[in-house]
A and B are shown apart, each in its own frame.
Chain A
Amino acid sequence: MLTSLRVAPRPVALGRVLFAIGALLTCYEGGGFLNHLQKDRITTPVSDWLPQAADVSLAAWFLTMAVACVLLALGILAPLSALTIAAGNVLLMATDQQLYSNHRFFLVVLCLWFAIARADRAWAVRAKVRRDAGDGLVPWWPQLLLVATLSACYLFAGLSKANPEFLSGDLIASLSPDWVPAQATAWLTVPTEIAIGLGLWWRRTRRPALLLGVLLHVSIVALLGAPLVFSAFALLCFASYPLVWTWPTFPAGPEDQAEAAAIQRSNVA
């Protein structure tokens, strides 16, 4: 039953585009760190038997990642592009301990789900040049995995911050302008992230949770330093927002069928 449910393709297609832009920014950030390590910074290899930072061609790595992200955004070879982005970021994390981050790991997991989500069935070059037989709907279960990953990310981000060090506000104070009430912000962050993580699962709380999520990410980008890193992370998270916003009722409702039929007609035209 779960794996036979099908939904309209546009929400996950929108998510694919947001995800590809977020992935490109995340790869740009990673390429910057790799560049520093290859120039003059002290390295901390993960293991002697894994490739080191110096072994990776920065130009080739970034070109591959950039092309894969653009292809994914356009909906060309989307599964292969998503898997390429995942492999490239696993390689990056394997070279040096300084290149690991939860954001990068989150990116890799989402790549796996986007690779199987058939996110190129709408708003994609593939959808324009190749017509698929069938109802035009896409399987819902990969979208469930995307939303579950997002939910776990928010939930455990909140739980991991429920500690005296974070709640002291010192970390936020070190990242934000002086006028930001750091300790109050820290105390507010924990329940906010937990509420978003849990709120994605119930019909009545889904859309409020998404609005809270948008406010959270906008405030992070606006108040904390490193706008590139936090904008990239916001886009990776926002990639699953359309799936939550349009969380279906089962079996696929008439609006899903109508949207799929409209997309098939536009692809034929």
Chain B
Amino acid sequence: MLTSGLVSSWRDRLVAGIVVALFLVPAVILLAGPKPSRFGFQMYSGYGMVSASWEDRSGGRHEVELTDHVANDRAEVDWTETLPEQLCPRFPDAVEVQVRRTQPGTDQVRTVSC
């Protein structure tokens, strides 16, 4: 470990401060706020998932393979915000599109008519 004798000038203190910040910043991000968070520390931690489905005129429900429609289905992106409207034109037979975002303790669902 580093010893206190190594830190004697303002430059040393600056470097030591950066080292401390490298641990403090992710700790704060990890402990504060909901997970997964935008620009947060995810690292395949298993938080959250997103799924989408559409309904045809006869009431049949079809799952959407999201990776065919987005570049990277990251869990922290609030897909319920705009994704339903953007999926509608991609499924001409859809009368309704539903996007579900599951996070620890919450289940966010948004449905739009096409």
Binding site for B on A (CB under 8 A): 1-3, 5, 33-34, 36-37, 41-42, 44, 96-102, 105, 109, 141, 144-145, 148-149, 151-153, 155-157, 159-161, 163-168, 170-171, 201-202, 250
Please report the C-alpha to C-alpha distance between residue A202 and residue B38 in the assembled complex, in whole angstroms: 34
B9 contacts A by Cβ under 8 Å: yes
| Complex alpha-carbon distance, A153 and B45, angstroms | 13
Contacts of A102 in B (CB 8 A): 41-43
Q: Is the interface of B mostly helix, strand, loop or mixed?
A: loop
The 0/1 profile, CB within 8 Å of A marked 1, for residues 60-99 of chain B is: 0000000001111110110100110011000000000000
18 contacts between A and B (CB under 8 A): A1-B6, A1-B7, A2-B11, A44-B70, A44-B77, A98-B71, A98-B73, A98-B74, A151-B23, A153-B43, A156-B26, A160-B43, A160-B45, A163-B104, A165-B45, A165-B46, A165-B104, A166-B45
Q: Which of B26, B30, B44, B86 contacts A42 (CB 8 A)?
A: B86
Residues on B lying within 8 angstroms of A by beta carbon are 1-2, 5-9, 11-12, 15-16, 18-19, 22-23, 26-27, 30, 35, 38-39, 41-48, 69-74, 76-77, 79, 82-83, 86-87, 104
Tell me which residues across on chain A come within 8 A of B11, comparing CB atoms.
2-3
